[in-house]
Amino acid sequence: MYDVIIIGAGVSGVTFASKISKYAKTMLIEAQDYQKEIPIRTNIFPEHNKPFVKEELDWNNKKIFPNPHTTSNYMSDEFNGVIDSKEFGIPLGNVSYTENLIQYLITQLESHGGTFKSNERISKINRYNDHLELINTKGESYTSKLLILATGSRGFELQRSLGFGVPDSYIGVYLHLFGDETKINENLRWNYTFHINPKISKNGPFFFNKGVERISAGYLGEKNQSKEEIISKLERILKNYKPIQSFVDGLTYNISDAIVGEISKHPIKKYSNDRVLILGEAAGIVSAFFYEGLLPGVACADIAAKTLKPLFEKGSNFSRVELQEYDKEVNRVLMTYFKNGNAFEYLIYNESSSVKSLWNLYTKLLSENKTCRKYIYDAYINHDLSKHIVSNDRYVGEKLFGMLPTLSKLTLSPKFFKAMLLL
Ligand SMILES: Cc1cc2nc3c(=O)[nH]c(=O)nc-3n(C[C@H](O)[C@H](O)[C@H](O)COP(=O)(O)OP(=O)(O)OC[C@H]3O[C@@H](n4cnc5c(N)ncnc54)[C@H](O)[C@@H]3O)c2cc1C
């Protein structure tokens, strides 16, 4: 019998596994074949993630964090709204080679005596009073006192079977483009480029995340887009979309390497039940506008480990009441910061004809207004997001509203009013 079994070796699962395995008999199970390859991912890993992994990860490990994240460009067709950390202080965070981060934390788990099983999918879970039984697709079973679901957007059946809700889920696509470091830096000045064009998607951004010899490009698409559609649209964008041609010029890529996957948002109501916790994206804890999912992954992992440590020590039976502390803490730590994503999502991700002009104005605002840039910078580097200053987001909202032409002010004021109420 294991003390704890974690299903899913994404960032949430591996972070939690590396933490809990120090004091509990732990097994981590992953459906993908990591022996063959952990799929490469070049991600943005803001400074505000750091407190949740400060004991596990060395911020200067270049294999995991090849370069600092110093510049973000909130880009429209007309303006570059650039947040450059040099204007204010320390970097905004790091760029992460997330496949190396995952591998490193699995090695940590194993060095603590934990077990990692790859290429194994759990298909059924039976609940008993004093333990759970997990059965994989080969019919083998494991027992555990406690179960952690860190299944991202790929385990909805399992979480439903345990009485949890499932979040809203969208499709996304990304692809890596390669080139030498100099060429990549010539092409793209910013570590992170976040671009909205409703013709690309009404639900999310088109983005570039810049590593050292590779760039990840992709976008978050519509709910019912097929895999073929989203990939062929990405190819058309990379080949023909004028605003980004200079970024991709001369870089190599193979469109058949594009990865398509679901991404969820809008948190479900509860993240715990008797003997079960649910972490990160599986619980829909991804910020609604920026689709920031690594922060919730590492935060949930840290909060779960801190909640469980004393329970292990006192020989708890992990009742729902005891585990509810985890829900409360996750909400306390993350949901104030998440409000700005909710407000922005409401303003921007919709069918209305004003989306493009609003996004143009927002990027103009950032390019012109230092206070707005500073407020965004502060959110990137804030080590205690429970104290995120919501009035800063209101200030940015008010400035944006102030820039609207008079007629748009009249038509959009109800929308702005409602967005402000979300803050
Ligand atoms: C294109 C794109 C770009 C992104 N870029 C960023 C970024 O730059 N910064 C950022 O903060 N966020 C980013 N995100 C969001 C972020 O990557 C995710 O929210 C985060 O990685 C989710 O981590 P997770 O561990 O919760 O879930 P996942 O990474 O999805 O891991 C879940 C794992 O569980 C496994 N699994 C599921 N079911 C089973 C089962 N039954 N048995 C065994 N294993 C199972 C899956 O195989 C999977 O490996 C991006 C998302 C997308 C789609």
pLDDT in tens, 61-83: 999 999 999 999 999 999 999 99
Question: 292 CB under 6 A from ligand 1?
Answer: yes
CATH 3.50.50.60 in the chain, residue ranges: 2-67+91-167+266-335
Q: What mean pLDDT is predicted for residues 165-178?
A: 96
> Which tokens belong to 420?
């402000």
pLDDT above 90 for 221: no
Q: What pLDDT is attached to residue 296?
A: 98
Nearest-atom index, ligand 1, CA of 123 = 41
* CA pair distance 298, 101, nearest whole angstrom: 12
Confidence (pLDDT) at 191: 98
pTM, full prediction: 0.98
What pLDDT score was predicted for residue 159? Answer: 97
Q: What is the mean pLDDT of the chain?
A: 97
Mean pLDDT, rounded, for 222-236:
92
Let me know if domain 2-67+91-167+266-335 sits in CATH 3.30.750.24. no
Question: Is 397's C-beta closer than 6 angstroms to any atom of ligand 1?
Answer: no
218 CB under 6 A from ligand 1? Answer: yes
State which of 30, 192, 206, 225 you would mutate to test the pocket of ligand 1, scoring each by most atoms of that ligand within 8 A of its C-beta. 30
CATH T-level topology, domain 170-262: Alpha-Beta Plaits (3.30.70)
CA distance 38 to 152: 16
pLDDT greater than 80 at residue 187: yes
- pLDDT of 183 reads 97
Q: Is the CB of 29 under 6 A from ligand 1?
A: yes
* CA of residue 336 relative to chain centroid, distance: 16
pLDDT, residue 152, reads 98
Q: What is the mean pLDDT of residues 91-119?
A: 98
pLDDT tens, residue by residue, 191-215: 999 999 999 999 999 999 999 999 9
Predicted pLDDT of residue 352 = 84
pLDDT at 223 over 80: no
**pLDDT at 42 (0 to 100):** 98
Distance (Å) from CA 342 to ligand 1 centroid: 20
Q: Does the beta carbon of 154 lie inside 6 Å of ligand 1?
A: yes
Asked if the model's pLDDT at residue 222 lies above 90, the reply is no
According to CATH, where is 3.30.70 located in the chain? 170-262
Q: What is the mean pLDDT of residues 254-258?
A: 98
pLDDT at position 218 = 98
Task: Report pLDDT for 353.
Answer: 86
- Give the whole-number percent of the chain exceeding pLDDT 90: 98
Residue 411's Cβ-count burial label (10 Å; 0-12, 13-18, 19+) is: exposed
Which region, left, alpha or beta, applies to residue 388 given φ > 0 means left and ψ of -120 to 50 means alpha?
Answer: beta
The three-state DSSP-derived secondary structure of the chain is CEEEEEECCCHHHHHHHHHHCCCCCEEEECCCCCCCCCCCCEEEEEHHHHHHCCCCCCCCCCCCCCEEECEEEEECCCCEEEEEHHHCCCCCEEEEEHHHHHHHHHHHHHHCCCEEECCCCEEEEEECCCCEEEEECCCCEEEEEEEEECCCCCCHHHHHHCCCCCCEEEEEEEEEEECCHHHHHHHCCCCEEEECCCCCCCCCCEEEEECCCEEEEEEECCCCCCHHHHHHHHHHHHHHCHHHHHHHCCCECCHHHCEEEEEEECCCCCCEECCEEECHHHHCCCCCCCCCCHHHHHHHHHHHHHHHHHHHHCCCCCCHHHHHHHHHHHHHHHHHHHHHHHHHHHHHCCCCCCHHHHHHHHHHHHHHCHHHHHHHHHHHHCCCHHHCCHHHHHHHHHHHHHHCCHHHHHHHHHHHHHHHHCC
- For ligand 1, whether the C-beta of 291 sits within 6 Å is yes
CB-ligand 1 contact for 11 (6 Å cutoff): yes
Q: Mean of the pLDDT values across residues 239-248?
A: 98
pLDDT at residue 174, rounded to an integer: 97
Question: Which residue out of 6, 120, 154, 158 has the highest number of ligand 1 atoms within 8 Å of its CB and is therefore the one to mutate?
Answer: 154
Q: How confident is the model at residue 125 (pLDDT cuts 50, 70, 90)?
A: very high
Assess whether the C-beta atom of 363 lies below 6 angstroms from ligand 1: no
Q: Is the CB of 295 under 6 A from ligand 1?
A: yes
pLDDT (average), residues 174-180:
98
Q: Express each pLDDT in 311-362 by its tens digit.
A: 999 999 999 999 999 999 999 999 999 999 999 999 999 888 899 999 999 9
Query: Looking at residue 224, what is its pLDDT?
Result: 80
* Closest Cα to atom 42 of ligand 1: 121
Could you read off the pLDDT of 98-108 as tens digits, one per residue?
A: 999 999 999 99
For residue 90, the Cα-to-chain-centroid distance in whole angstroms is 22
Angle CA(409)–CA(413)–CA(414) in degrees, nearest 5? 155
Taking residues 147-160, what's their average pLDDT? 97
At 366, the pLDDT band (50, 70, 90 cuts) reads very high
pLDDT at 230 over 90: yes
Lowest mean pLDDT among 27-41, 302-316, 340-354: 340-354
